[in-house]
């Protein structure tokens, strides 16, 4: 066998060894990955947090009518200032008083002149008349955050006396909902880990690292809105009763462990 043939045989064997080594590494990796995904166990945990709302969001409007647009706006501005001054006297900070919309609408009249057809026929209205602008209406809507619930009833009652003629909604919410969410999550994780500790002792398994985590949030403390009916009973009426109730947030988690 000459030198060239020996060289060819050597490199052929070397290539075959390399291919077999790569195949072996890939095969071992697949087995390890399969073990990681199949030899697992999951535990569910639930955490609940109940808290009383700490913010009341009150929505209301001032509606003003006048013969001209300027007169309606000027009159509305005076009422708006009275409302703002009243709220500040109740301890409401300026950052918690917000205009949410401001609209100006023309008011129309639709003339319906009478047409007399003949003495033998009854008169009929003529609908061909063009509408005419007879005035303007300004609607300014507000949202106010009330943090002192002891003053809420009096504020609702007092707003009517200073020019508010439409109270729309009263909503209760949590100022920092993320804090409740984190508390509920921590309870849910602790619940799942407790179940894991109990099970591994009962069936004699050893848990490895956490390879998956999933959470589901329910009952998120969104604002609750009360109906506007009956709000603003008038001066001296003592104001309406507005119980705030409670908000609840629930977090469910699933923790998956690798079994050693």
Write out the chain's pLDDT in tens, 260 residues: 566 565 656 556 665 556 555 445 445 454 445 444 568 889 999 999 988 888 999 999 999 999 999 999 999 999 999 999 999 999 999 999 999 999 999 998 876 666 555 666 666 665 556 778 889 999 999 999 999 999 998 999 999 999 999 998 888 888 888 888 999 999 999 999 999 988 887 887 888 899 999 998 875 544 444 444 445 443 334 556 666 667 788 999 999 999 88
Other residues' Cβ atoms within 10 Å of the Cβ of residue 217: 14
The CA distance from 170 to 254, in Å, is 37
Other residues' Cβ atoms within 10 Å of the Cβ of residue 43: 19
Helix ranges (DSSP H) in the chain: 3-38, 69-89, 152-161, 177-203
In the chain, what are the domain boundaries? Answer: 55-175+236-243
Q: What sign results for the dihedral spanned by CA atoms 79, 81, 87, 92?
A: positive
Fold that domain 55-175+236-243 belongs to in CATH: Alpha-Beta Plaits (3.30.70)
């Amino acid at each position: 066998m000459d030198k060239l043939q020996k060289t060819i045989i050597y490199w052929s064997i070397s290539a075959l060894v390399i291919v077999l080594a790569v195949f072996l590494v890939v095969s071992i990796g697949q087995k390890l990955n399969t073990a990681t995904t199949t030899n697992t166990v999951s535990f569910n945990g639930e955490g609940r947090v109940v808290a009383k709302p700490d913010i009341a969001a009150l929505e209301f409007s001032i509606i003003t009518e006048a013969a001209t647009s300027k007169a309606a706006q000027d009159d509305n501005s005076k009422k708006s200032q009275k409302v703002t001054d009243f709220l500040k006297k109740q301890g409401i900070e300026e950052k918690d008083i917000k205009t949410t919309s401001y609209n100006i609408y023309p008011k129309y009249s639709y003339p319906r002149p009478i047409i007399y057809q003949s003495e033998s026929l009854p008169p009929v209205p003529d609908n061909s008349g063009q509408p005419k602008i007879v005035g303007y209406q300004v609607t300014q809507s507000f949202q106010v955050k009330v943090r002192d619930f002891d003053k809420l009833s009096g504020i609702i009652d007092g707003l009517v006396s200073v020019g508010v003629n439409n109270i729309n909604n009263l909503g209760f919410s949590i100022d920092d909902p993320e804090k409740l969410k984190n508390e509920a999550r921590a309870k849910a994780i602790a619940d799942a880990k407790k179940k894991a500790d109990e099970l591994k002792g009962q069936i004699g398994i050893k848990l490895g690292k956490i390879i998956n985590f999933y959470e589901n949030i329910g009952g998120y403390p969104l604002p609750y809105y009360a109906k506007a009916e009956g709000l603003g009973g008038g001066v001296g009426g003592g104001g309406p009763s507005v119980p705030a109730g409670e908000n609840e947030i629930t977090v469910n988690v699933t923790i998956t462990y690798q079994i050693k």
